Chains A and B, each alone.
Chain A
Amino acid sequence: MYKIRNLSLSFDGHEAVRSASFDIPRGARLGLVGESGCGKSITALALLGMAPASARVSGSIEIDGQEMAAAPERLWRSYRARKVAMVFQEPLSALNPLKRVGDIIAEPMRLHLRLDRRAARARARDLLVEVGIPDPEARLDQYPHQLSGGQRQRVLIAAALSCDPQLLVADEPTTALDAHVAGRILDLLKRLSETRDMALVFISHDLEAVARVTEEMLVMYGGDIVERGPTAQLLADPRHPYTKGLIEARPRLDALTLRADGAPRPRLASIPGSVPALADLPKGCRFAGRCPIERPACAGLRPAVSVLGPGQRQVRCLAPLLPAKVPA
């Protein structure tokens, strides 16, 4: 459905996203993982033609055969809501505080599906049921501040679903929620994607969340897609040193407690250094400078993508890690 080829987004000549290529087939659930500032969110916005005006977009974004990378705003507007919709990170700030829940959800339907007030309201109620909000009739007349965090996010999802998009882009939809509520939102997103045969691009830095929702994932670092593959395989057996670092840096409860033999657990692993500023990104491999297995060539030469094994796994590294377990 979506075909993205060599998509680059640059600000003042600095590439925040460097020739990214990936497909989003119908109904697929794709995870986009990386640290803050690695280009996830801007890639997401580009999928809706909403990259900031200061960004220079090059490459190709093909939606159902239609080339959209350089498409005018007018054409993009005919795609938004109906083909592609978005769920944002902070549900409270993504909901206009002065509008009632019912109007927020009904607005796109009245605009795009030309529904009258009553029909739009009835569908808004059905959508609230679909996203699992109890007592939907009463919720329709409430304001966002009267809802709990999880309910706000459900309302936002309902509004995004209102015109039956084929792709839902969810940019860190659970970051602002507590863990229990977040888990239920994740399950909801997965269920909606399955029942509606709707593709989902799920953006997160939370690997557990990505594992819970997606089938395939892309790992981004410094604007490069450094590794991709089926989510389970990739998490079990990372080949890019950045992916490996990301997995090891994941906080776990057992890391904080003593081991059975009484010895203290090692400290939470971290990747040394921090994501460089856009203007200071290395020319070659973006991870150069922080990479534990860096070679002299890495900083100057952008590694090519190597395809690993028979699967769809790809990694952009000069010296990818060896498989975790030697295949028998």
Chain B
Amino acid sequence: MRNLPVSLWIGGALVGVIALAALVSLVWTPQDFATVAVSERFQPPSARYWLGTDQLGRDVLTQLMVGARNSLTIALVAVGLGGALGTALGLLAGAKGGWTEEIVLRLADFSFAFPALLFAIMLAAAFGPSFANAVVAIAFINIPVFVRVSCASARQVWQRDYVLAARASARGGLAITRDHVLPNIAAIVIVQATIDFAGAILIEAALSYLGLGVQPPEPSWGRMLSEAQTLLFLAPQLTVLPGLCIVATVLGFNLLGDGLRDLADPRREKAR
């Protein structure tokens, strides 16, 4: 492919590997993720346990694969929900302007003022730790970014002559938003979603680390980290491996987002 940004390739490859592992875990895992076999604990890598076992004799590779699935699912649903709601609000504010815009943007500013992670922890703690509540918490803190991004871009599109032309041919606000504004801000919103995906993975890991995210026996990278930290000197790979997965995923989505942004907006293209 000609002239695709390098970051797009690296990001795409990292995300691709993780996503593939998550997809494969749906149909096959080396071992059952919930099976505890204390007699098999702290096994080194072998033909049976490719990455060895943990302190409860669970297969590490299986845990990582299912953890990838859980992380990606939470991030996907949360960013999808938050992005959809935020974009809808942003489009509304961009279309209406005036007081509607003021109120929506000030609310977005207001929720921006809270540190995202603390806010997610607060929500998850208030509504009880669970998969669904982690999704809701992460979705919620994603709303304001999408409001801002989509409102700002929507306002630019509303200034365009083709919107004036659409009004001159008697299109209403809803039709213009659907047919003209949304398609023209889609690229920006998708880039934003990709970058926010990385943040969502990180927050999910943090929630799970604190026991507020994915609940046992479902594995999660964050909880693998917290469970293994007391064994840091005994079995460092139990900490390093999930940590590497988190790093790779976050880095992958960030690079992918950067690459997509360069692709969508050639003016921001830097020397590669």
Give the complex CA separation of A235 and B14 in angstroms.
71
Q: Which residues in B have their C-beta under 8 angstroms from that of A85?
A: 168-169
List B contacts of A108 (CB < 8 A). 169-170
In Å, the complex CA distance between A83 and B162 comes to 19
Q: Contact: A94 with B162, CB < 8 Å?
A: yes
The answer to whether B170 and A88 touch across the interface, beta carbons within 8 angstroms, is no
Q: A interface vs B, CB < 8 Å?
A: 48, 50, 53, 77-82, 85-86, 88-90, 93-99, 107-108, 111-112, 156, 159-160, 162-163
Chain A-chain B contacts (Cβ-Cβ < 8 Å), number: 65
Shortest Cβ gap from A100 to chain B (Å): 12
Residue B48, interface by CB 8 Å: no
Closest 7 CB pairs of A and B: A80-B170, A94-B161, A86-B168, A108-B169, A81-B169, A93-B161, A96-B162
B106 at the interface (CB under 8 A from A): no
Instruction: Give the complex CA separation of A144 and B168 in angstroms.
Output: 19
Question: How near does chain B come to A294, taking the closest CB pair, in angstroms?
Answer: 38
Extra 14 A-B pairs, beta carbons < 8 Å, given A96-B184, A107-B179, A159-B169: A50-B164, A77-B170, A80-B167, A80-B170, A81-B169, A85-B168, A85-B169, A90-B161, A95-B165, A107-B171, A111-B170, A111-B175, A112-B170, A160-B168
Q: Is the interface of A mostly helix, strand, loop or mixed?
A: loop
Separation of A163 and B171 alpha carbons in the complex (Å) = 13
23 residue pairs of the A-B complex, CB under 8 angstroms, read A50-B164, A77-B170, A78-B170, A79-B170, A80-B168, A81-B170, A85-B168, A86-B164, A86-B168, A89-B161, A94-B162, A94-B165, A95-B162, A95-B165, A96-B179, A96-B180, A96-B183, A98-B183, A98-B184, A107-B171, A111-B169, A111-B170, A159-B165
Q: Which residues of the partner chain B approach A77 to less than 8 Å between Cβ atoms?
A: 170, 172
Q: Could you list which residues of chain B lie within 8 angstroms of chain A, going by C-beta atoms?
A: 97, 160-162, 164-172, 175, 179-180, 183-184
Chain B contacts for A111, CB-based, 8 A: 169-171, 175
How far apart sit A108 and B164, CA to CA, in the bound complex (Å)?
14
- Specify the chain A residue showing the minimal Cβ separation from B157: A96
How far is A81 from B170 in the complex, measured between Cα atoms in Å? 6
Instruction: Name the contact of B169 in the complex, choosing from A80, A90, A93 (C-beta under 8 A).
Output: A80
B169–A160 contact, CB under 8 A?
Answer: yes
Which residues of chain B are within 8 angstroms of A98 by Cβ–Cβ distance?
183-184
CA distance A111 to B172 in the complex (A): 11
Interface centre among B97, B160, B175, B180 (most CB of A within 10 A): B160
Residue of B97, B166, B183 ringed by the most chain A CB atoms within 10 A? B166
What's the nearest-Cβ distance from chain B to residue A136, in Å?
Answer: 20
Give the distance in Å from the alpha carbon of A60 to the alpha carbon of B172 in the complex.
24
- Tell me how far the C-beta of B139 lies from the nearest C-beta in chain A, rounded to whole angstroms: 28
- Given the complex of chains A and B, what is the CA–CA distance between A112 and B172 in angstroms? 12
Q: Please give, as numbers and ranges, the residues of chain B lying within 8 Å of A112 by CB-CB distance.
A: 170
Are A88 and B169 in touch, CB under 8 angstroms? no
List of B residues within 8 angstroms of A80 by Cβ: 167-170
**Residues of chain A contacted by B183 (CB below 8 angstroms):** 96, 98
A160 to B169, CA, bound (A): 7
Q: Which A-chain residue is minimally distant from B162 (CB atoms)?
A: A96
Q: How far is the CA of A93 from the CA of B165 in the complex (A)?
A: 10
Known: A96-B180, A96-B184, A98-B184. A163 touches B169 (CB 8 A): yes
On chain A, the residues within 8 Å of B162 by CB distance are 93-96
B165: nearest chain-A partner, CB-CB: A94
Known interface pairs A98-B183, A98-B184, A107-B179. Does A93 touch B168 (Cβ–Cβ under 8 Å)?
no
* Alpha-carbon separation in the docked complex, A79 to B167 (Å): 11
B residues in contact with A94, CB < 8 Å: 161-162, 164-165
A93: B residues at CB distance < 8 A = 160-162
Q: Which residues of B contact A95 (CB under 8 A)?
A: 162, 165
Tell me, in angstroms, the Cα distance from A107 to B180 when the chains sit together. Answer: 12
Q: Are B167 and A50 in contact (CB under 8 A)?
A: yes
Q: Tell me if A48 and B161 are in contact (CB < 8 A).
A: no
Enumerate chain B residues within 8 angstroms of A48, measured Cβ to Cβ. 167-168
CB-CB under 8 A from B179, the residues of chain A are 96, 99, 107
Contact partners of A156 in chain B: CB under 8 A: 165
Looking at B168, B172, B179, the one whose CB has the most chain A CB atoms below 10 A away is: B168
A107, A112, A163 interface centre (most CB from chain B within 10 Å): A107
Chain B nearest CB from A177 CB (Å) reads 15
Q: Known contacts A96-B184, A107-B179; decide if A88 and B167 are in contact (CB<8 Å).
A: no
Docked CA distance A108–B180 (Å): 14
The CA of A80 and the CA of B179, in the complex, are separated in Å by: 18
C-alpha spacing A93/B161, complex, angstroms? 6
B162 to chain A minimum Cβ distance, whole angstroms, is 4
Cβ contacts under 8 Å, B166 to chain A: 96, 107
Q: How distant is B174 from chain A, measured CB to nearest CB, in Å?
A: 12
A88 adjacent to B184 (CB under 8 Å): no
Query: A79 — which chain B residues lie within 8 A by C-beta?
Result: 170
- Complex CA–CA separation, A159 to B183 (angstroms): 20
Q: Which of A80, A82, A96: most chain B CB closer than 10 A?
A: A96
B102 to chain A, nearest CB (A): 15
Question: Nearest Cβ distance between residue B33 and chain A, in whole angstroms?
Answer: 45
Given A96-B184, A107-B179, A88 and B171 touching (CB < 8 A)?
no
Task: With both chains docked as a complex, state the minimum distance between the C-beta of A185 and any C-beta of chain B, in angstroms.
Answer: 16
| Cα distance, A82 to B168, chains bound together (Å) | 10
Contacts of B170 in A (CB 8 A): 77-82, 108, 111-112
Give the residue name and chain of the B residue nearest to A103 (CB). B179
